[in-house]
A and B are shown apart, each in its own frame.
Chain A
């Protein structure tokens, strides 16, 4: 593998890990609320969360560019106030990956919280522990394997993200060229198809390992042995 290929691998890992870190806190909160709470407008939140799953990634990227681009409301605010740029930067790629992988992460976390027996949470409260501490001490640990599985799923999806990334981060060598962008670039050069193999195999390996680990964790989830 060339130096540029290794850069693409390192950048992809950096982007995917950052995307997971960005998404995790809100995904845990939204997943818990969707699993455990009943309220009006729940369907709306569900649909909003799932939207990136059905939208073409290019559309997601387009909207991110409109919002976070140099002339977008958020992008121009960040540039003028903090001299901080998201578009055409590796952070843009991380943001795109976070948005696209978000529904997968929330789904997994929601499913993990749903499998926590509500009676255990009630038992905890009846022992004098308030709702927030019950969440921290009972719900969260019991859903931890499902949450980790969600992270790995989001990580795998981020490794493979292409459409939204190219829209907001562009394909800048040694700056925003992740594995999928590098493969695309190689495929468009004469004789590049053959030299793309190492990156293709690397992408398959990283995604497969993440998926298998996620599956193992989800199966190992704490089982409620009370019934």
Chain B
């Protein structure tokens, strides 16, 4: 069933043209694109802040905007919960009042989301009497998430919700996102320019560039098949691999990824949550033979699947059970005589790996 149908055409005064058409059928879908690709404009048109020249927006069979039928539902009646980059908590209200703010419209009825449960899941019960200026960035974002949930939205629109947080907080907030989406099952649109976040968060992705939809489909397929094309101006490519299991051998930790063993940097704390390793394509060294007596700890054997030229560099997709991208020079490609289907060793320094939760 289609959750959200978007069909938007808009010409901005700056000359930028938006011509976007897509349907969202999945629980969590990302809209991915570089800065200036039109993501924010799409968000504000879905939310009702900007009125497009032409088009329509339909949420759960309810028309929110239709230029032909002259329908333009006000922001307050769209029932789209927005989680902003900056939390936008009301500074004159304490946390409890901020959380209860959106419940007011349900005062005559029972809100479908319970305040106590939201506080429990987001671990903000102890903050209720504080004002936003006395909260940390992560706490503010958790309260903002709770406030949005309590307004009982039909869909969540997350507009770069982690962009203003540091890496440690990003991981923590992502966990809260996982928990709330698991518990409340609200269809979510995650808007980001960060490939690794999109990869971790959503199974489906819509790629936008220069105001148009470039690609839609499974996130994994997009990363594998369209990856380098969509990273032209976005930050990336970044390799993000699921850790199947962890092993401890003396003082060293190893991750098992698609049957291959990778030595990890020291882990302070074992976690029960899902873990990933993240590294840049530039950190992957390619070799046609295995090299002994080398400081690089991780040697993964794989098969070359794609070779793409990008800005005088070569991006190589290697299948090691999952796809790893390597960024090399044209000269290196020539020396290695890389061809699609040939076997290659990917060497990654342990110190280049970052563990994310």
Contact = CB atoms under 8 A, between A and B. Distances in A.
Contact of A128 (B76, B90, B92): B76
A226 B88 contact: yes
Interface string B36-80: 000000000001010000000000000000000000001111111
A126 B64 CA distance: 13
Interface string A97-127: 0000000000000000000010110111111
Contacts of A224: 91
A119 B86 contact: yes
A130 B102 CA distance: 11
Given A119-B86, A123-B82, A126-B80, A141 B92 contact: yes
Interface in A171-227: 222-227
Interface residues of B, number: 28
B222 interface: no
Contact of B84 (A119, A131, A138): A119
Given A126-B82, A127-B148, A226 B87 contact: yes
A126 B49 CA distance: 10
Contact of A126 (B47, B86, B87, B133): B47
A141 B98 CA distance: 14
Interface string B80-101: 1110101111111000000001
Interface residues of A, number: 24
B205 interface: no
Contacts of B192: none
Contacts of B91: 142, 222-226
B291 to A, nearest CB: 50
A137 B76 CA distance: 14
Contacts of B81: 126-127
B89 A122 contact: no
Contacts of A222: 91-92
B151 interface: yes
A33 interface: no
Contact of A125 (B74, B90, B92): B74
Interface of A: 117, 119-120, 122-131, 134, 137-138, 141-142, 222-227
Enumerate the 3 nearest inter-chain pairs by beta-carbon distance, A residue then B residue, closest first.
A127-B102, A125-B75, A123-B88
